[in-house]
Amino acid sequence: MAQEQILTQEGKPLKQALRRALRREKMRSILLIAPLLAFVLVAFIAPIADMLFRSVENGIVADTLPETVVALQDWDPSTGELPDEAAYVALYDDLTVAVEKKIHTRLGSRLNYEQSGMSSLFRKAGRTVRSIEPGSPDMKQQLIDSDAAWGNLDTWALLKRYSGRYTPGYFLNAVDAEMNADGIEMKPDNERIYLYLFVRTLMLSLIITFSCLVLGYPISYLLAHLPLRKANLLMVLVLLPFWTSLLVRTSAWKVLLQQQGVINDLLVWAGIVDNTHRLVMINNATGTIIAMTHILLPFMILPLYSVMKTISPTYVRAARSLGATSWTSFWRVYFPQSVPGIGAGAVLVFILSIGYYITPELVGGTSGIFISNRIAYHISSSLNWGLAAALGTLLLVVVLFMFVLYDRIVGIDNVKLG
Amino acid sequence: MELQPYDSTLEKIWHYAFMVICGLIFFFLIFPILVIIPLSFNATDFFTFTPEMLSLDPAGYSFKHYMDFFTNPDWQQALWNSVIIAPMATLLATSFGTLAAIGLARSHVPFRGAIMAILISPMIVPLIISAAGMYFFYSRVGLQGTYWGVVLAHAVLGTPFVIITVTATLVGFDRSLERAAASLGANPVITFFKVQMPLILPGVISGALFAFITSFDEVVVVLFLGSASQKTLPWQMFTGLREQISPTILAVASILVTLSVILLTFLEIMRRRSERQRGMSPS
């Protein structure tokens, strides 16, 4: 039996009309979202993608020394022999052009990240190429005479290693490894800093998360069990710090924790601390932990509170009526129900603290700084952007991983503010 | 949180101990913020209470740090930059964000999860990474060191908050109201302004407040993206704290604390209004 088609009033098949209506509905939603999506893609996602690209991008050798790169293609450093005359001629030609464009020093400082001494070698090369006649014979010997480094196998091996357009070099640096003639290996112990810094960032973030939990749990419990009117009043004490400028709170801690600050003054006045032995609580890890615990505490209390509010008091009452002590009824009945709140708060505080920059910078000294501070240093002071990008990428991976975890536990749609 | 008649002595002791612990934690939360207010009236350039202040001697107090804030050109320029940049960023974030939240709340949105993840990402990515990426990218396109660069960056950072707050108000939104308006002959634009907008307005306003605070309080991105002429208030505070500890910071901080008290009051009023409108009893 042929199925009879249902038609709309205008005589079109119903299915088709419905599909069209659905498509129109989808188009409307897309049109509403599109402006913001485009804006975020251009102003935010593209910069992040640019940073990811920078962490592996390495066009500078190939762009500055194009002929040398070609000449080195068939050369194998493992033979232990220096490149032939043609490579030296190519290097001379490339350097001449580079010196004219004044870009040879940039290449020098780039390669200096991988091997120290390269920066001065290339600066010197600027003077060298002017003193050598173009087209003169035995270019190899002349260059080696100008600087013995050109007769060193390592220099050439380095050039060849970084002649590709992409490099794992920055990432290796970011985990304290390096690529040398024998392949990838870890740097000597005394030169390792980044792994240590990553570990410290993780450790301090864990300590901060834990102290937020210890301080936040009783407060959330109290707020969830007080009558609503009183709870809302006390909530103001949590929300006021939450809404107060980060820099205000950081300056407050600077004022309080200084050696000539309010807390030390109080301790001296109370006779607990001798005036000549004032406590050092700032410009070290202690300062970072105290200030950041204070700053992130509301981010622990708010999710914990919203979970605790939903826990019905009847379970605890039932436990008590069955003879449980108040501790047993809390620990065996109430606490397990509050675990989702702990998870939500802890992951949130951890994500926020791991990427912190301002507070560690101002109160962290040297022992309380995070990986972010090192990233900032490489962007604005050492100008090693590739390394900054690689460190940033690693940090981003950790944060995104934590965030996926958060999404599983809480769900991004359930984020509440204030 | 009340003592029960059947509580043992130990439980009674614990009850009072718990109250004391909570009091101490509240003290930890609030004391650092409040202590800077009296210190900001310090007549000396120190960051600590002088004996004159403790004995409540009027000579120990002065408005000189406030005077410095209102007369020093560095601070004034920073203040004006903040006052100009933050509203522009807020306007951009709120208008784009509200539209997108309304779009996302509709029933048929393809790739909703992925879109949401992208739109929320500025809130998740650590600021130093956003700042680094923007610094590299905005330099390439010539926006680094310009007002527009800072405004765009701050707007992007503020949008997730708008999305979240507006989405939250839309959860309680009754779609049949829209259909009722349509059946009475209103077109979608009129429906939006006359029916939808008044109901989601509290969410939009608190989203806008979040976006404003994000920009007004943001320092990491502006440090990298701005040049000296885009110096904002947080930037000036940051350099003031890092280089030489200028006591003017305490006056600025006290003003900002007062502002956040006002803001908090306003937000609370908005929240009650929103709950009343959605037929919940205000709590």
Interval A334-362: pLDDT, tens: 999 999 899 989 999 999 999 999 999 99
In a domain, residue B90? The reply is yes
Same domain (yes/no): B25, B84: no
Instruction: For residue A189, count other CB atoms closer than 10 A to its CB.
Output: 7
In a domain, residue B81? The reply is yes
> Which residues from chain B sit within 8 angstroms of residue A25, using beta carbons?
106-108
- Which of B11, B256, B264 is facing A245, going by the closest CB pair? B256
Amino acid at A119: S
**CB-CB under 8 Å, A240 with B241:** no
Same domain (yes/no): B147, B91: yes
Q: How confident is the model at residue A86 (pLDDT cuts 50, 70, 90)?
A: confident
Residues A171, A176, A179, A185, CA torsion sign: negative
User: A54, A251, A260: which to substitute to probe chain B, counting the most B Cβ within 10 Å?
Assistant: A251
Q: Where are the alpha helices (DSSP H) in chain B?
A: 9-39, 51-54, 64-71, 73-105, 112-124, 127-140, 147-171, 175-183, 188-191, 197-216, 220-225, 233-242, 248-277
Q: What is residue A14's predicted lDDT score, i.e. its pLDDT?
A: 87
In a domain, residue B114? The reply is yes
Taking the Cβ of residue B270 and every Cβ of chain A, the question of whether any pair is shorter than 8 Å is answered with no
**CB-CB under 8 Å, A39 with B48:** no
Residues 141-170 of A with CB under 8 A from B: none
HSE-up (13 A, CA, CB side) for residue B4:
11
Taking the Cβ of residue B17 and every Cβ of chain A, the question of whether any pair is shorter than 8 Å is answered with no
> Which residues from chain A sit within 8 angstroms of residue B249, using beta carbons?
251
Please say whether the beta carbons of B145 and B230 come within 8 A.
yes
Chain B nearest CA to A285, separation (Å): 17
Same domain (yes/no): B52, B86: no
Same domain (yes/no): B13, B129: no
The residue written with tokens 């003054």 in the block is A265
How wide is the angle at C-alpha A50 spanned by C-alphas A49 and A51, nearest 5°? 90
Same domain (yes/no): B149, B207: yes
In a domain, residue B69? The reply is no
Q: What is residue A415's predicted lDDT score, i.e. its pLDDT?
A: 59
CA dist A139 and A30 (Å) reads 65
Listed by start position, the domains of chain A span 13-44, 60-165, 194-414
Structure tokens at B181: 């308006």
What predicted TM-score, i.e. pTM, was given to this entire model?
0.88
In a domain, residue B120? The reply is yes
Please say whether the beta carbons of B75 and B256 come within 8 A.
no
As for how many domains chain B has, the answer is 2
Classify the phi-psi angles of A416: left when phi > 0, otherwise alpha if psi is within -120 to 50, otherwise beta.
beta
CA dist A407 and A404 (Å) reads 5
Q: What is the pLDDT of residues A166-195, one digit of tens each?
A: 988 899 999 998 877 777 888 888 888 999
Contacts of A220 (CB under 8 A, 6+ apart): A300, A301, A304, A305, A308, A341
**Quick check: A416 pLDDT over 60?**
no
For every one of its 283 residues, what pLDDT tens digit does chain B have, with 9 covering 90 and above?
A: 677 777 788 888 999 999 999 999 999 999 999 999 998 998 888 777 887 888 888 888 889 999 999 999 999 999 999 999 999 999 999 999 999 999 998 878 888 888 998 999 999 999 999 999 999 999 999 999 999 999 999 999 999 999 998 988 887 777 788 889 889 988 888 888 888 888 888 889 889 999 999 999 999 999 999 998 999 999 999 998 887 777 899 999 999 999 889 888 887 787 777 777 766 554 4
Least Cα distance to A162 among A107, A244, A221 occurs for A107
- Which of A44, A45, A245 is facing B234, going by the closest CB pair? A245
Q: Is B209 exposed, middle or buried (0-12, 13-18, 19+ CB in 10 A)?
A: buried
Give the residue on A whose Cα is nearest the Cα of B188.
Answer: A28
Q: How confident is the model at residue A21 (pLDDT cuts 50, 70, 90)?
A: confident
In a domain, residue B276? The reply is no
Element (H, E) at A268: helix A262-269
**Quick check: A1 pLDDT over 60?**
no
CA dist A301 and A231 (Å) reads 13
Same domain (yes/no): B90, B24: no
Taking the Cβ of residue B108 and every Cβ of chain A, the question of whether any pair is shorter than 8 Å is answered with yes
Q: How confident is the model at residue A235 (pLDDT cuts 50, 70, 90)?
A: very high
Under CATH, what is the fold of the domain A194-414?
MetI-like fold (1.10.3720)
Assign residue B101 the CATH number of its domain: 1.10.3720.10
Which pairs from A276-279 meet CB under 8 Å and 24+ separation?
A: none
Taking the Cβ of residue B91 and every Cβ of chain A, the question of whether any pair is shorter than 8 Å is answered with no
In a domain, residue B139? The reply is yes
Q: Where are the alpha helices (DSSP H) in A114-261?
A: 118-131, 139-146, 153-161, 169-174, 194-225, 228-243, 246-257
**Quick check: A251 pLDDT over 80?**
yes
Same domain (yes/no): B18, B125: no
Domain extent for B56: 9-60
This model of the complex carries an ipTM of 0.89
Q: What is residue B283's predicted lDDT score, i.e. its pLDDT?
A: 44
Structure tokens at A86: 């043609």
Average pLDDT estimate for A26-44: 93
Element (H, E) at A319: helix A313-321
In a domain, residue B268? The reply is no
Average pLDDT estimate for A86-107: 89
Q: What is residue A418's predicted lDDT score, i.e. its pLDDT?
A: 47
Same domain (yes/no): B24, B107: no
Instruction: For residue B130, count other CB atoms closer than 10 A to its CB.
Output: 28
Same domain (yes/no): B149, B41: no
Cα dihedral value A162, A378, A195, A112, nearest 10? 30
> Which residues from chain A sit within 8 angstroms of residue B256, using beta carbons?
244-245, 248
